Amino acid sequence: MNKQSLPYTVVFSFIVCFVFVFLLSLTHQATSELVQLNQELRQQRAVLRALAVDFETDDQIRALFADIEAVEYDDMTLYRVQRGGETLYARIFAGSGVWGTINGVLGVDREVTRTVGLEIIDHNETPGLGGRIDEPWFKQQFTDKPLLDGRLEVVREGGTEGQDGKVDAVTGATGTSRSMQTILNRELERLQSVLGGEA
């Protein structure tokens, strides 16, 4: 068969594509269980961090997460843990950012008067700008942060340390900062509505 002919090119291309697609499919099948386990571990890690539970290894994550109770309220799954004599709750959230969905976990106290922690699971925000919402300095602002009238405000001017209900925005990422404020206040309202009725 002439290597310059159209039939040769078509057959050769088909064979090469078939081999690579077959290998890709095999790899996908071989790793799908591991990928799922890693996604579950990533979510468990985020819940523990939002509840300010310390851990060092993946085995500790699994053991500690087993002690966290998943409870249902009005079709909403919350994660509950007892820590230091108080009950804390975490909720996995998803909300619209500037470039896509922001997924994370927000931890609060039983009365929803303060945030315990915030962890971002994934997002599509611009690296170096809105993408900075998953940097430690941003998330640490939500550690034991008292709320102001049950809400949070993301402030552009900065200097919010010690101010109830206020956290610093990400410089150069006004849209992402506004989105985070909207998402978190929506989640706080939901948490207040379901936890307010619990005895």
> Is 185 within a domain?
yes
> Is 140 within a domain?
yes
Residue 199: its pLDDT value, please? 38
Instruction: Read off the pLDDT of residues 146-181 as tens digits, 9 standing for 90 and up.
Output: 999 999 999 988 788 888 999 999 999 999 999 999
> Is 12 within a domain?
no
Q: What would the mean pLDDT of 90-102 be, rounded to a whole number?
A: 95
Nearest CA among 182, 148, 177 for reference residue 162: 148
Q: For the chain, what is the domain count?
A: 1
> Is 7 within a domain?
no
Range(s) of the domain holding residue 173: 70-195
> Is 37 within a domain?
no
> Is 137 within a domain?
yes
Instruction: Read off the pLDDT of residues 76-95 as tens digits, 9 standing for 90 and up.
Output: 999 999 988 899 999 999 99
Q: What gap in Å lies between CA 188 and CA 171, rounded to an integer?
A: 24
